[in-house]
Amino acid sequence: MAAVFEATVTAPVNIAVIKYWGKRDSTLILPTNSSLSVTLSQDHLRTRTTIRASPTFDRDRLWLNGAEEDVSASKRLVNAITTARRLRAEVEKQQTDAVPLSQWPVHVSSENNFPTAAGLASSASGYAALVSALAALFELPQSASELSRVARVGSGSACRSMFGGFVAWQAGVAADGSDSLAVQVADHTHWPELQALILVVSDRKKTVSSTAGMQTTVETSALFPERVRAVVPGRMEAMQKAIAERDFATFAALTMQDSNQFHAVCLDTYPPISYMNDTSRSIAALVHAFNAAVGRTAAAYTYDAGPNAVIYALESDMRDLVELFAYCFPRAEDTAPDAFYPNPLGLFES
Ligand code: PMV
């Protein structure tokens, strides 16, 4: 019987509180600014990936949620697999009796435990799972930070999903991307009271992909260079301090301000990009009204390249917030497929 080597791993989704938007190198996926995210619990949102390698396979193949995709159609996927193979080849060079896995085709099967149609970021957990599975299969000696560079060439934000807890993606300055990697700021046990609530406003595919959107922003927004130069470095520092001190009010204010500025530079892009819709804006207004009513910054919203909201709050406030959102934004009727009501999916511990 022919040899088959196999590895299975899972990887989590992360939601940025200081946003990555803009590339200085679009092949290596090097960002214009550092970013910081919270990794969500894998109980609710995760990708599970199995990779098999065998000399009997005729080519690399990939199945996403059971449906086969064309591997060669995705340059980034090919890049990530090729980079991992190069690292395996180094292992084989050093250990002459190592199985020549770097030369065998692979079969990759990847599935999400959340509805792919829900419009939630799946490329981050997807590429992190792919790279972690390749690293396990190839028995790569690299650390998670070093491997995050491989995940990064698949999808920028994926480098942050190589860790749990609170994770910074250091933009780096090197032209070859060697210092553009993820580091863990604090692990998942650091702040157990912090929770995230995802409000699915729309499950439609976004109209402008993040790749196309950020490229146009870099080329046309006059506000964007100011964000990169004068705003993000200070926020990265302040955010890390807020996390270290478990200072929710500061964490929340920075999160909302950075989400707002990201969407402001999207609007300043020409032609403009609007990812948030009226419901997204109503949710943001409701969060501010809630904070005003309780007399402190008890909740924060953040939005990525789409209208869905992620709400951060401490466990002690989350029940009130869930009730408030459920009351103000009742579930969409099955008979109204175009209704843009959010549908609270549930609570996810960070
Ligand atoms: O990694 P990408 O290309 O999917 O870009 C993600 C960008 C945002 O989600 C909008 C922000 C972020 O830092 O995750």
CB of 14 shorter than 6 A to ligand 1? no
Ligand 1 pocket mutation, candidates 210, 224, 280, criterion most atoms within 8 A of CB:
210
Beta strand 35-39 with 30-31 is unpaired
CA dist., res. 49 & res. 151, Å (int): 14
CA dist., res. 133 & res. 125, Å (int): 12
Atom of ligand 1 at shortest range from CA of 123: 4
Question: Cβ distance 124 to 14 under 8 Å?
Answer: yes
Please tell me the total number of residues recorded for the chain in this structure. 350
Q: What is the side-by-side order of every strand in the sheet holding 309-314?
A: 299-303, 309-314, 194-200, 343-349
Residue whose token pair is 């209208």: 307
CA dist., res. 2 & res. 139, Å (int): 20
- The alpha carbon of 159 and the centre of ligand 1 are apart by a number of angstroms equal to 11
Q: What is residue 268's predicted lDDT score, i.e. its pLDDT?
A: 98
Question: Cβ distance 10 to 46 under 8 Å?
Answer: yes
CA dist., res. 31 & res. 152, Å (int): 10
CA dist., res. 130 & res. 183, Å (int): 19
CA 343 from centre of chain: 21
- The alpha carbon of 157 and the centre of ligand 1 are apart by a number of angstroms equal to 5
CA dist., res. 167 & res. 338, Å (int): 36
- The alpha carbon of 9 and the centre of ligand 1 are apart by a number of angstroms equal to 22
CB of 304 shorter than 6 A to ligand 1? yes
ipTM of the complex: 0.99
Q: What is residue 116's predicted lDDT score, i.e. its pLDDT?
A: 62
CB of 16 shorter than 6 A to ligand 1? yes
Q: What is residue 230's predicted lDDT score, i.e. its pLDDT?
A: 98
Residue whose token pair is 């990759």: 108
Beta strand 35-39 with 166-170 is antiparallel
Question: Residue 341: CA atoms inside 13 Å, Cβ hemisphere, count?
Answer: 16
Question: By alpha-carbon position, which residue is closest to atom 8 of ligand 1?
Answer: 304
Domains recognised in the chain with CATH numbers:
5-186 (3.30.230.10), 194-349 (3.30.70.890)
- Check residue 230 and report its DSSP letter: I
| Bond before 100 cis per omega within 30 degrees | no
CB of 258 shorter than 6 A to ligand 1? no
CB of 155 shorter than 6 A to ligand 1? yes
Q: What is residue 120's predicted lDDT score, i.e. its pLDDT?
A: 65
CB of 317 shorter than 6 A to ligand 1? no
Rg for the chain, CA atoms, rounded? 21
Q: What is residue 119's predicted lDDT score, i.e. its pLDDT?
A: 53
User: 43 is written with which tokens?
Assistant: 């109980």
CA dist., res. 310 & res. 186, Å (int): 20
Low-confidence ranges of the chain (pLDDT < 70): 1, 115-122, 332-350
Q: What is residue 336's predicted lDDT score, i.e. its pLDDT?
A: 42
Atom of ligand 1 at shortest range from CA of 20: 13
Q: What is the pTM of this model?
A: 0.92
